[in-house]
Amino acid sequence: MGLNYVDHTKESPYEQPDYPTLFLRLTTSLTAHESPIVRPACSDSLDFEGELAVVIGKGGRHIPREQALDHVFGYSVFNDGSVREYQFKTPQWTVGKTFDSTGGFGPAVVTADELPPGARGLLLETRLNGQTVQSANTEDMVFDVATLIQVISEAITLHPGDVIVAGTPAGIGWARNPKLLMRDGDVCEVSIEGIGTLRNPVVDETRLQARA
């Protein structure tokens, strides 16, 4: 989801919404821990977004908020690599959020009983080539995990194995002057306290095509 930290919304051209900003990612957009995040050949606007990933263990529809955390199997780490040029071509973000192999996911799933309820109060940091570019606490999310599950399940039946990615804090490269974007040869890491560190090298699609 988008715009789930007030400080991130302030660095964007948007107002803080009263309802979660939801979009989908295709499975082809995912890449594993230590596997490449692929910078597409058609754009140089690939940005980082460190986020908490919520793994559903028990499905359902119309899940009450007070029961929502019972549906969580565990938590992981996500880098919501976003091709900004395509994300902002229209008001609907999906295409810029679902380029092949742009969403880093891992390194593991930590079960919900090993973390505070709703994974609250955890330090989240993103580093690009060792430099810290995002630092926040999951306590700062506008819509907490239980609320996200409640709201999403009003419209969509959740299934075991579904993943809800809970938004990024301030510090994205697109909001900086000059912009700080992921390039071929970079290494991007996202760490969440109590869960682990997701690490992905960044590789140009054209370089991968040349190897094929």
pLDDT digits (tens, 9 = 90+) for 39-59: 999 999 999 999 999 999 999
Q: How many domains does the chain have?
A: 1
Query: Whole-angstrom distance between the N-terminal and C-terminal Cα of the chain?
Result: 34
- List CB contacts of 137: < 8 A, sequence separation 6 or more: 121, 122, 123, 124
Q: What is the pLDDT of residues 200-211, one digit of tens each?
A: 999 999 998 888
Give the range of the structural domain holding residue 112, as residue numbers without chain letter: 6-210
CATH number at residue 147: 3.90.850.10
The reported pTM is: 0.96
- Which tokens hold the place of 113? 């009983």
Whether 1 is in a domain gets the answer no
Low-confidence ranges of the chain (pLDDT < 70): none
Q: What is the radius of gyration, based on Cα positions, of the chain?
A: 16
Whether 43 is in a domain gets the answer yes
Q: Are strands 163-165 and 50-56 parallel, antiparallel or unpaired?
A: antiparallel
Measured in whole angstroms, how far is the alpha carbon of residue 96 from the centre of its chain?
A: 13
Tokens 């973390």 -> residue: 115
